[in-house]
Amino acid sequence: MADRLRLFVAVVLRDELAARVDGVRLGLGSSEVGRLPPHITLVAPFNAPRDDLAGLLQRLRHLAEASTPSSCLLGPIRQFARALPVAYLAVDDPTHALVGLAEAARATVRGANAQPDGSVFVPHVTVANRVAPDVADAATVALGHFRAPLEIDGFSLLARDPDAAEHRWREIADFVLGRPLVRGRGGIELVLSRTRMLDPVVAERAGGGSLAIVGAPWAITARLGDELAGAAGGDLVGPYARVTSLWVEPSLRGIGVASRLLETAERAASERGASRIEAMAHDDAVRRYLHGRGYATQPSDRTWLSKALGEPA
């Protein structure tokens, strides 16, 4: 296993907007569709020691928690003038919040004592590299009216897969902008972070998910300060949410961590339109615990318990 990672920080476009931009990328012959998601780079690719990953994830999480969401507008298509131009979507950042986030992310990655690199941040979404000049000119005219709003509510850390022949980049952690949820009980305040995925450090501690993710992923991480307390993960398919993994640090069991994780998962699923949530019971103790939280065994499969969202625990 390599002792260094190739990483970069970016706002990743998702869902319908990502599909629209990928359509433009395919139309211009981009070779990066499927290898690299459409994105706005905040910190250009850099090398980091593998054993510094936990510290980097913590610093980026603190940055996200201290930042606030903002809005921008993508479009139109423009080009960086070169012998073989780079076609890109311009980013209208009226409040300069995205510029500020990029500057803070670069300082976070470099470290507090490092000197600025002197580069100028120009927010954009690359559509295609090394485009023939006539094709770039035609795209600039044809897509001169392309506009799409984008809510900047988080950013991601991506890593290059060293085992993939095409040097594919994949998200390994995502961070939501704004203060996390804090839940107190018995004088203990749990900080609960809602993301799309468990970061690699948390996933390793939690033992990874027990089931494959088949729908829209979600994850929740619980901490006492910066100390990891527990984590939950699952997916959302239409009106149904699943809890595919639920883990609590052994030394912190019995103080309500699992209950806070499930409570947060239920609220998040309901906010995303789910009407029912399901959880797997690996043994009788877990089954009794879920029964106490309002979950009922399904007649067709006693392994899974379910609960209609909105029902009291």
List Cβ neighbours of 306 (8 Å cut-off, separation of 6 or more): 276, 277, 278, 279, 295, 296, 298
Distances (CA, A) of 53 to 9, 32, 281: 13, 26, 33
Band of residue 119 on the pLDDT scale cut at 50, 70, 90: confident
- pLDDT on residue 201: 92
The fold adopted by the segment(s) 4-174 is Cyclic Phosphodiesterase; Chain: A, (3.90.1140)
Average pLDDT of span 12-41: 93
Q: Is 181 exposed, middle or buried (0-12, 13-18, 19+ CB in 10 A)?
A: middle
Judged on CB neighbours under 10 Å (0-12, 13-18, 19+), 9 is: buried
Q: What pLDDT sits at residue 113?
A: 52
The encoded tokens of residue 294 equal 């309002």
The encoded tokens of residue 255 equal 């103080």
105 neighbors 63 (Cβ within 8 angstroms): yes
Instruction: Judge: domain 180-308, CATH 3.40.630.30.
Output: yes
Give the pLDDT score at 182: 87
For residue 17, is it left (φ>0), alpha (ψ between -120 and 50) or beta?
alpha
Q: What percent of the chain has pLDDT over 90?
A: 63
The whole-number pLDDT of residue 243 equals 92
User: To the nearest whole number, what is the mean pLDDT of the chain?
Assistant: 89
Residue 298, pLDDT above cutoff 80: no
* Long-range CB contacts for residues 282-289, cutoff 8 Å, separation at least 24: 282/210, 289/258
Residue ranges per structural domain of the chain: 4-174, 180-308
Q: Is the pLDDT of residue 1 over 70?
A: no
Residue 270 has pLDDT above 60, yes or no: yes
pLDDT digits (tens, 9 = 90+) for 184-216: 766 678 999 999 999 999 999 887 655 667 788
pLDDT of residue 251: 92
Res 31: pLDDT: 86
- Determine which of 35-44, 161-170, 235-244 has the lowest per-residue pLDDT on average: 161-170
The residues, ordered by sequence, that sit 6+ positions from 213 with a Cβ below 8 Å of its Cβ are 233, 234, 235, 244
Rg (CA), the chain: 22
- Asked if 262 and 232 count as a contact pair (C-beta separation under 8 A), the reply is yes
Element (H, E) at 291: helix 284-292
Average pLDDT on 151-169 reads: 87
pLDDT band at residue 132, thresholds of 50, 70 and 90? confident
**Mean pLDDT confidence for 72-100:** 90
Banded pLDDT at 80 (limits 50, 70, 90): confident
Which tokens belong to 26? 């395919």
List the structure tokens of 154.
């988080």
| Greater model confidence, 226 or 11 | 11
